[in-house]
């Protein structure tokens, strides 16, 4: 393919990510465009981080955050401090993490609530594995950003509650329980909260003094690579309570974006000291995602049938799948020497630059060319965008 203006590639060989992508664009995209907008609309004086903004970045004050959006925004602002050194970001990280500890953490039964409003008012008190992963992730990022041991200790406490109340005998996680952590509220299992728990434990293990959490991360990684991954590199999304993959007829499916996400996480785990055997599954997941989920124009689809076939094109292509594809491809090009993936990376980046980034007011559309959709809600706070850009910048810094 011909080089695009803001990308550089000689079409034959790649010596590093800086020879392939305009790294300065990725840095500026979050440090000068996205994160300043979030800093202007999300923080409240008490520390609650509000995720709702309309298509033109005007706040829609619904007065609450979920633990997912709170934890993700703490991560985003921690990334902002790393990139810019701006103390304003670190101040918001502290307030956001303090709000998790003081209001999302259940002082009576442990664990974290799903959603909390202004003044610490608990709105939904059930305990969710996905939510606990992002509590742990946000606190891990806060600990790394501030150096405050309280956040690492709080994150480890969240993990202990997960081990006691959400972990099952097979090695996975139940999705949701009541407040006390006694009654399971959803019998269907999903690899999604398991994946984000792996991510959170991996990040926590990189916090100074928390290296012992590596073994917890490895336990999760071994469950996925040893029990759930198929030999062809696929990873079904949903399961019964015994972790048998649900067929298509029972609502089973393969989430393409999660294949790319795992491809990155497992390879990154090898970099920080987890078993080198994870590199093989990471590559297999990446190859399956490319073969069955990336279209000729570089766009990544949402799903693929568990039983195989032509693939599901009924769902609109979403923003976060594009981010995870770019992050995984960039990582494998730079960290694994996979220059053969350069063309797929360029096609993917070219696709989302054209169809997902808003050239007028900044930010990302949630779906392809969805120009009038809100820029933020409790699920979309640009965590995937920030993570993608941060990884490109990190890879370039290693080359330097």
- Alpha-carbon distances of 155 from 73, 142, 215, 220, rounded to whole Å: 16, 10, 15, 17
Whole-number Å distance between alpha carbons of 188 and 196:
17
| Cβ atoms of residues 35 and 81 within 8 Å | no
The total number of residues shown for the chain amounts to: 400
> What is the DSSP annotation of 204-241?
HHTSTT-GGGHHHHHHHHHHIIIII--TTS---SEE-T
Give domain limits for the chain: 17-399
pLDDT grade for 16, boundaries at 50, 70 and 90: confident
Q: What pTM value is reported for the model?
A: 0.95
Mean pLDDT of 168-175: 95
Q: Please give the C-alpha separations between residue 262 and each of 15, 240, 244, in angstroms, as whole numbers.
A: 25, 21, 19
Per-residue pLDDT at 7 exceeds 70:
no
Q: What is the pLDDT of residue 2?
A: 26
How confident is the model over 17-32, as pLDDT tens digits? 998 999 999 999 999 9
- pLDDT tops 60 at residue 124: yes
Provide, rounded to the nearest whole percent, the portion of the chain with pLDDT above 70: 96
Task: Return the number of other C-beta atoms located less than 10 Å from residue 252's C-beta.
Answer: 19
Per-residue pLDDT tens over the stretch 226-280: 999 999 999 999 999 999 999 999 999 999 999 999 999 999 999 999 999 999 9
Determine the topology of domain 17-399 in CATH: Glycosyltransferase (1.50.10)
At 5 the pLDDT is 28
Q: What is the pLDDT of residue 11?
A: 37
């Amino acid at each position: 393919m011909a080089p695009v203006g803001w990308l550089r590639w000689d079409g034959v060989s790649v010596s590093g990510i800086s020879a392939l992508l305009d790294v300065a664009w990725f840095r500026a995209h979050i440090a000068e465009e996205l994160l300043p907008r979030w800093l202007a609309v999300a923080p409240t004086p008490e520390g609650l981080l509000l995720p709702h903004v309309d298509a033109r970045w005007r706040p829609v004050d619904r007065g609450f955050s979920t633990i997912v959006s709170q934890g993700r925004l703490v991560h985003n602002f921690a990334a902002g401090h790393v990139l810019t050194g701006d103390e304003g970001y670190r101040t918001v990280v502290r307030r956001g993490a303090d709000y998790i500890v003081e209001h999302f953490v259940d002082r009576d039964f442990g664990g974290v609530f799903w959603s909390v409003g202004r003044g610490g008012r608990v709105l939904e008190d059930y305990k969710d594995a996905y939510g606990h992963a992002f509590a742990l992730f946000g606190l891990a990022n806060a600990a790394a950003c501030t150096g405050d041991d309280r956040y690492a200790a709080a994150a480890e406490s969240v993990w202990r509650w997960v081990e006691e109340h959400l972990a099952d005998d097979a090695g996975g996680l139940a999705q949701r329980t009541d407040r006390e952590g006694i009654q399971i509220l959803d019998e269907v299992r999903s690899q999604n909260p398991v994946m984000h728990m792996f991510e959170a434990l991996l990040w926590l293990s990189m916090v100074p003094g928390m290296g012992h959490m590596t073994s917890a991360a490895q336990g999760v990684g071994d469950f996925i690579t040893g029990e759930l991954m198929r030999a062809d590199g696929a990873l079904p999304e949903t399961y019964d309570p015994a972790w048998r993959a649900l067929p298509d007829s029972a609502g089973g499916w393969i989430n393409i974006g999660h294949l790319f996400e795992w491809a990155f996480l497992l390879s990154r785990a090898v970099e920080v000291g987890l078993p080198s055997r994870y590199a093989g599954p990471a590559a297999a997941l990446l190859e399956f995602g490319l073969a069955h989920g990336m279209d000729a124009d570089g766009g990544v689809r949402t799903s693929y049938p568990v039983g195989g076939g032509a693939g599901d094109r009924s769902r609109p292509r979403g923003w976060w799948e594009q981010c995870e594809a770019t992050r995984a491809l960039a990582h494998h090009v730079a960290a694994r020497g996979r220059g053969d993936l350069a063309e797929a990376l360029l096609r993917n980046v070219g696709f989302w630059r054209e169809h997902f980034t808003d050239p007028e007011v900044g930010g990302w559309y949630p779906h392809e060319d969805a120009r009038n959709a809100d820029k933020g809600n409790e699920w979309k706070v640009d965590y995937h965008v920030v993570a993608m850009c941060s990884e490109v910048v990190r890879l370039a810094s290693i080359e330097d």
